Amino acid sequence: MVVGDASIDIDTLVVGAGPGGYVAAIRAAQLGQKVLIVDKSELGGVCLNRGCIPSKALISAAHQYESAQHADAFGITAENVKVDFKKTQEFKNGVVKKMTQGVSGLLKGNKVEVFSGEVMFINDSEARCFNEHESPRYRFKNCILATGSRPIELKPFPFGGRILSSTEALELQEIPGSLVVIGGGYIGAELGQMFSKFGTKVTIIEGMDSVLPGFDKDMTRLVAKNMAKTGIEIVANAKAESAEQTDKNVTVKYSVNGESKEITADYLLVTVGRRPNTDGDLGLDLAGVELTDRGLVKVDHQGRTSNPKIFAIGDIVAGPALAHKASYEGKVAAEAISGLPSVVDYKAIPAVVFTDPECSSVGYTEKEAKEKGFNVKAGKFPFAGNGRATSLNQPDGFIKIVANADNNVVLGAQIVGIEASNLIAELGLAVEMGATLEDISLTIHAHPTLGEIVMETAELVEGHPIHVIAR
């Protein structure tokens, strides 16, 4: 019990219980720290509740629906295939519940104290945690900020009604007849393609010349091809300007090469990026935490801020807004607090997009490696040359490996095709450990598996491929 307004002493305060925060809290507790984690919403943060996990559950359901409709290549025909979207949403919610309950059990098992509420810093080593029932005050030896991010809201397209962020889109209780998506990045591409597979007429308005602008064009070309198969229209090099909504639809005005156009749909989904949660009433100024002009927290190689007692991780620091990046940074920060020599090294952090086909990348692209001054050699092996991919009727795609021509060390890799999200792990390990092409090609891969494509690509780059003709 606390007498009056005295502060409770703790070792580590973690602000935010997303994939960065809860991982940091668990790792800190494993290292002997007395840890309090605070979040005003659900355990698991955006990722488990309103982002990664629910979106992948709905994407999986969309794949199942499409497969049931189009299995004739296998000699399987199903009639009257229907979607009960209420049950689909129940499935998604069940997945989310299992995952968040799992996080709760992990925190409890590691003796991490959980406070449901908000945090406001009082000074550089004290903070008040509060909700509608209580407002205890804590004095911390160290703190890890993991407050995450939220969808960027554009002034011409305020969220509400039929103008949706990704959060509302994942909660729709009906399959829209039509949907306009502003932004063809990974969120817009994933959700747009998911709804399209369920039968929605989707139009993507993208400011760049293709969807998924962060990936190589030969990868995104395959995604655009599959989008066209389900009727998605991609309007590239376009500028969205305004929207007017009624209780039945929303009309979006945009321009392409100076020509004004408009389109009307049931809903408008705006996915133009995310904004760090460093504003509001956190009191970071009172804590002596410096921000950049973009609202990101300035940190060093261990995640330490301008206040040496406070660390920051995840979407509120520089770099891509990825859940696995946040988890990695959380472990580094927790270990740094415990005096371990852990530092952040981003060279092997993968990027994955759950489009159809999936795209993934790790390390350098061929262009990036050349810009860094490496003597580069690279090669692509097609999924069509793999027995497992062909037997799955998924022959589209390739794996590309980028290596240092001077010593055959793997510098990076890109994958587009079925299970690209899983296949990238082996190549991420190769980049992390400084493996060579020979390390991969001499590793016996089980047959018939998709993993063989990794081995075949390494052999191709070495110059002695088996299942394609060397050129």
Instruction: Return the active site residues.
Output: 447
Q: Does residue 367 have a known ligand-binding role? A: no
* C-beta of residue 414 within 8 angstroms of C-beta of residue 220: no
Peptide bond into 357 cis (omega under 30): yes
Strand, helix or coil for residue 63: helix
Quick one: CA torsion of 155, 191, 348, 344, rounded to 10 degrees? 40
Q: Does residue 303 have a known ligand-binding role? A: no
Q: Does residue 327 have a known ligand-binding role? A: no
Residue 170 neighbours by CB under 8 Å, 6+ apart: 50, 54, 55, 58, 92, 191
Q: Does residue 94 have a known ligand-binding role? A: no
Residue 254 neighbours by CB under 8 Å, 6+ apart: 205, 235, 238, 239, 240, 241, 260, 261, 262, 263
Tokens representing 90 are 């129940």
- In order of 122, 306, 376, 394, 471, the CA distances from 456 in angstroms are 58, 48, 18, 17, 15
Q: Does residue 71 have a known ligand-binding role? A: no
Strand, helix or coil for residue 165: coil
Q: Does residue 189 have a known ligand-binding role? A: yes
Q: Does residue 363 have a known ligand-binding role? A: no
Terminal CA-to-CA distance of the chain, rounded, Å? 75
DSSP annotation of 345 reads -
Q: Does residue 82 have a known ligand-binding role? A: no
Identity of the residue numbered 137: R
* C-beta of residue 192 within 8 angstroms of C-beta of residue 216: no
Look-up: residue for tokens 């007017």? 244
Could you tell me where the beta strands, DSSP code E, fall in 16-136?
A: 35-39, 113-116, 118-121, 126-130
Q: Does residue 214 have a known ligand-binding role? A: no
Q: Does residue 290 have a known ligand-binding role? A: no
Q: Does residue 147 have a known ligand-binding role? A: yes
Q: Does residue 315 have a known ligand-binding role? A: yes
Q: Does residue 339 have a known ligand-binding role? A: no
Q: With 0-12 CB in 10 A as exposed, 13-18 as middle and 19+ as buried, what is 400? A: buried
Look-up: residue for tokens 């949403």? 89
Q: Does residue 185 have a known ligand-binding role? A: yes
Q: Which residues are annotated as a binding site?
A: 56, 147-149, 183-190, 206, 273, 315
Q: Which residues are annotated as a binding site for NAD(+)?
A: 183-190, 206, 273
Q: Which residues are annotated as a binding site for FAD?
A: 56, 147-149, 315
